[in-house]
Amino acid sequence: MRDSVTCTISGVDPRGRGRLELDGHLVHVARALPGDVVRVRARPRRDDDPETLATLERAGESPARRSPGCEAFPRCGGCLWQDVEPAAQRRWKSAMVRRVLSERAGYTLPEDPPITASPDAGHRTRVLLRVHVAGGRLRAGLFARGGRELVALRRCEAAAPAINAALAELHALDVRGLPDHRVRLALATAPAPGSGQREHVRALVTPATKPAAPALALAERMRRAGLFATVDTRAADATPQPCDAQDGATFFAAPGMFEQTNRAANRALRAAVRRRVDALAPARVLDLHCGNGNLSLLLHGARGRAVDGVDTSPQAIAAARLGLASIGAPAERYQLRSAARARSPSCARSRPAPWSPCCSTRRARGPEPDRHAGESALARLAALRPRHALYVSCDPQSLADDLARLRRAAGYELAGLELFDLFPHTPHVETLAWLRAPGAPGAR
């Protein structure tokens, strides 16, 4: 490859880097956007990132750039794309997913898949903040881009108003007398108990430095100051509380357990899952990674349909069962069990399970009971052979790889795709894919 070359970025890769084809090579350019004209120079190949080129200068600006929607940009590591028009972000994500499916799974989609927008600010209803206490002062915020230095935030444009109100109060908390220490502060909002009231914010404080005692003392001060509706210090102790309500069902979650971070876009995702299932009109549904029932709670009861779910998190199953109680469905529909041992749901009709949603967690971080959760779900799906499968994924690359594997292992073909902009101002995107087993009929 030539030493230095000027070129126009044509797309983004799943990590948000600009990408282009050069001399028959696919290359990725950090901090470049589609439409940017950049002079780049190849740098020595690195095993973990063999194709990235060093940017020497930007010779032309992408027309999608805007003045950043946030004061902390670009220092803060929370949002990579605060300086990009939201509509362009969505176009790029949609094109990226189409290309990843083509390159990794051989699917040629006729056009970029549709993407449902989210509010562009105040959309994050769950955040993980970093809190540093030093010299009797408290600073809270997010890690800097590409590092672990704290960027203190008085407010976060992406966060829900209730989280920002709590953040402002947090900075005023009296921490005099506490030794220097650091904590992780997971905050999640819950709908206001009454109209005109502020949304609840629930907190989980976990130590990021040893010993743990100062973190416990800090949590106690937060409690006494009434900063949050609840303050827990052990995820396992936090009891699930209502976190959302939609179409007659109440959803429950506890701080620290998995919960989508964008309530508005998550509601659109749930509604889309229900539309797909209603169109397929199955007698049985099996949710292989049901969590708190987020994707399947709205599916119960329609036309005598049997809906079951499994998850390996006791807290998630406790939350899912509270959700079942909210719609008057029996608790045993959601079971504490690995996807690897999920059984086909029982129901009055005798035909085999015609539909099963499956959620990939292959890229899940943190302590997972099964690091290869996605693998076991895929194997189980191929073994149960439902006629239709829905697959919800936050990682287009693992989605594409899994679709290719499901096609090889059991003949499943991709029947359609819809995207949801759950993570505005970042390259991340949530995908709902629906798959058809060989010989299965289409939707009604």
Contact footprint for ligand SAM (CB under 6 A)? 258, 260, 289-291, 294-295, 310-313, 316, 338-339, 359, 361, 368-370, 373, 376
What are the residue ranges of helices labelled H in 226-285? 263-280
Of 92 and 258, which CB lies nearer to ligand SAM in the complex structure?
258
Min dist. Cβ of residue 299 to ligand SAM (A): 12
Structure tokens at 370: 């099964």
Question: Closest CB to ligand SAM among 84 and 399?
Answer: 399
* Closest CB 320 distance from ligand SAM, rounded Å: 9
Which residue number has the CB closest to ligand SAM?
291
**Residue with Cβ nearer ligand SAM (229 or 358):** 358
Measured from the CB of residue 235, what is the shortest distance to ligand SAM in angstroms? 12
Q: And the tokens for 236?
A: 């396992």
d(CA 99, CA 94): 9
Q: Which is nearer to ligand SAM, 144 or 327 (CB)?
A: 327
DSSP character at residue 397: H
Rounded Cα gap, residues 429 and 14, in angstroms: 9
Give whole-number Cα distances, 48 to 2, 51, 52, 258, 436, in Å: 22, 9, 10, 29, 35
Residue placing its CB nearer to ligand SAM in the complex, 41 or 341? 341
Give the shortest CB-403-to-ligand SAM separation in angstroms.
18
Rounded to an integer, what distance in angstroms lies between the CA atom of residue 183 and that of residue 206? 6
Q: If you write DSSP's letter for every residue of 78-133 in order, what string do you get?
A: S-S-TTB-HHHHHHHHHHHHHHHHHHHH----SSPPPEE---SSS-BSEEEEEEEE
Helices (H), 125-262: 161-171, 213-225
Instruction: Please say which residue, 34 or 396, places its beta carbon nearer to ligand SAM.
Output: 396
CB of 394 to ligand SAM, least distance (A): 7
Q: Which is nearer to ligand SAM, 121 or 320 (CB)?
A: 320
Distance CA 84, CA 80 (A): 9
- Single-letter code of the amino acid located at 253: A
Cβ-based neighbours of 318, under 8 Å, separated by 6 or more:
240
E strand or H helix that includes residue 314: helix 314-326
Closer to ligand SAM by Cβ: residue 297 or 403: 297
Distance CA 334, CA 265 (A): 24
Question: Least distance from C-beta 311 to ligand SAM, angstroms?
Answer: 4
Least Å distance between CB 249 and ligand SAM? 13
Q: Which is nearer to ligand SAM, 206 or 296 (CB)?
A: 296
- Closest by CA to 101, choosing from 23, 14, 17, is 14
- Name the residue among 162, 282, 277 with its Cα closest to residue 228: 162
**Phi, psi angles (nearest 5°) of residue 241:** -130, 165
Max CA pair span of the chain? 70
- Quote the CA–CA distance of 205 and 255 in Å, as a whole number: 9
CB of 131 to ligand SAM, least distance (A): 25
Q: How far is the CB of 313 from ligand SAM (least distance, A)?
A: 4
Indicate the residue among 76 and 254 with the shorter CB distance to ligand SAM: 254
Smallest gap from Cβ 368 to ligand SAM, in A, equals: 5
